[in-house]
Amino acid sequence: MTLVTVLGILIVRKITLFLRKEAVSGYTYTQTSTAALRHPVRQWSNIPVHIVEEHHEVLPYWFRAADHGRISKGVTLVHIDGHSDMASNFYLDGYPFFKWPKNPQNINIMMQRNDGFITAAAMAGLIGNVVWIWPKWDQVNHNDSKTSGTLQFGWTITRQSKVGTDKAFCMCLTESIQQQKSCMFTSADETDMEVLMEEDACIIKRSIHYTEMREDLAREYLQSTHESFDNMILDIDEDFFGCEYASQPLYDLSVDLNALDTYLFQLFCPLHQTGEAVLDRYLAEVIDFVKRTKCISENKPENCDGKTISNTKQFFLRKRSIWRPYICKTTKKERSSFIDGIIEELFKLNLKQLHAVQKVGFCLSTTRKTYQPISPSLFSICKGANSPNETAVTEHRTNPIEVSTRGQLLSSILNVFKESPPKIITVCRSVRDGYTPRQHFVQIENIILNSIRKNYRKAFIHYDKGLLGGKNGFKQSNF
């Protein structure tokens, strides 16, 4: 499989309000500062390590680092990830068209997809070189253990699309060895959003160098390459250690939750992680109450007498002080109907299915920092964007021993930069979207952070306010 084919397969993955300043601790946006112009890649006393939930949440941190002079334009990105994350965004009115973002609104419109952040940063002029290090378990998607080439970014004219524009971003890849060039554009109208196109139809605006390699070759390559890593972002996704389906417990029990999801996101609209956590705990209590009624009707809620259903609704309403701050703008009649729907759907499930729903939990489908007109943030079962019938993503079930072994390899890769450390490090959890194995999340994150601390003594860890489950993570007691 060529790099072109691999890229075409991988960039269709992970798809599915205004950017709040408080989402980035202490963040105040400015255009490229005088300090940054005078002192590109300045020396700093600490190396910031920003831990985010979804990968596009790194963009505010990257651009702030550039505006403050920590990194300079044309930075090298060392991307350690189970996936390439080289999808393109949609062109929309107000998008900073191959320009540096001037304000939070500009960055917000760039945060459309959790696999489109690299191309967004490259099109803005921040990234000049990408090195993607992929795990050996992803070998099935690669013919070669190492490839490189040139990525060009541009735009093209397409038919009127669902996003209301006749422009689309396009991308061309030229492999270094065979010099084969392949181009594609991002369409909102096609089943596969990346559509192959004639290369002369893509009007090129930016160009970067691109290299990808298997994890066991990375240390030797990084030591021997003539490329400069003095101006570097180190970016690590926790799904580098494995990729499992958060929805597997539901899939195994053939649980259909479409109706329940619809009632949930019509009733609840939490704006922050705190609200997600409160609602997750509350709904787990509701499910416990349903279990205690001893009226699990095996998909026939009508078998439960009216008193049982009424008691459950009274339990739901008695604790309205808990969930009222997080409800959507609805009428009293609509709220009552949605609550009735939630209760009825829960009574359709048996005890094992109810337990599976509690285990998977409840959360927003994506961070509120995602550009809402493209990817609305809806409260529902926390099953992620990755499911067992998803064909574009490779599943890899890991175990503690393999996690530990891969952690040792990661530490050896990071050691290459010990004398000249990265200027900024970002770590992505990928738990909300259902990629990182939740039962191994604590071990994985501890190994990554310990590897960073071991190799870079001045690393300073910062936990983003939007982390699902906060600093400690999501529903760890369930695993």
DSSP-based three-state secondary structure for 233: strand
Structure tokens at 282: 């509350």
Does residue 169 sit in the same domain as residue 276? no
pLDDT for residue 36: 52
Does residue 254 sit in the same domain as residue 201? Answer: no
Q: What whole-number distance in Å separates Cα of residue 201 and Cα of residue 184? A: 10
391 falls within a domain: no
Clarify whether residues 82 and 113 are in a common domain.
yes
**CA dihedral sign, ordered 113, 117, 122, 125:** positive
Please tell me the total count of domains within the chain.
2
Mean pLDDT value across residues 267-278: 95
Q: Are residues 430 and 465 in the same domain?
A: yes
Query: Which tens digit of pLDDT belongs to each residue from 216-244?
Result: 999 999 999 877 799 999 999 999 999 99
Check if the beta carbon of residue 87 is closer than 8 Å to that of residue 12.
yes
Average pLDDT over residues 419-428: 96
Residues 140 and 34 in one domain: yes
Cα separation, 233 vs 58, whole angstroms: 11
Greatest alpha-carbon pair distance for the chain in Å reads 75
Distance CA 317, CA 339 (A): 9
pLDDT at position 4 is 40
Q: How far is CA 306 from CA 344, 417, 448, 457, in A?
A: 11, 67, 53, 64
Higher pLDDT, 450 or 292: 450
Q: Which of 356, 381, 406 is the last residue of a domain?
A: 381
Query: Residue 156 above 70 pLDDT?
Result: yes
306-318 helix and 332-346 helix, angle to the nearest 10 degrees: 120
Q: Range of 283's domain?
A: 248-381
For residue range 428-475, what is the model confidence (pLDDT) as tens digits? 999 999 999 999 999 999 999 999 999 999 999 999 999 999 999 998
Residue 319 shares a structural domain with residue 330: yes
Quote the CA–CA distance of 438 and 380 in Å, as a whole number.
Answer: 18
Mention every residue, 6+ apart, whose C-beta is less than 8 A from residue 336. Answer: none
Secondary structure element (H or E) that encloses residue 380, with its range: strand 379-381
* pLDDT tens profile 102-117: 999 999 999 999 999 9
392 has pLDDT over 50? yes
Average pLDDT (266-295) is: 93
**Does residue 386 form part of some domain?**
no
174 close to 149: Cβ distance less than 8 angstroms: yes
Full-prediction pTM beyond 0.85?
A: yes
Name the residue among 148, 10, 29 with its Cα closest to residue 96.
29
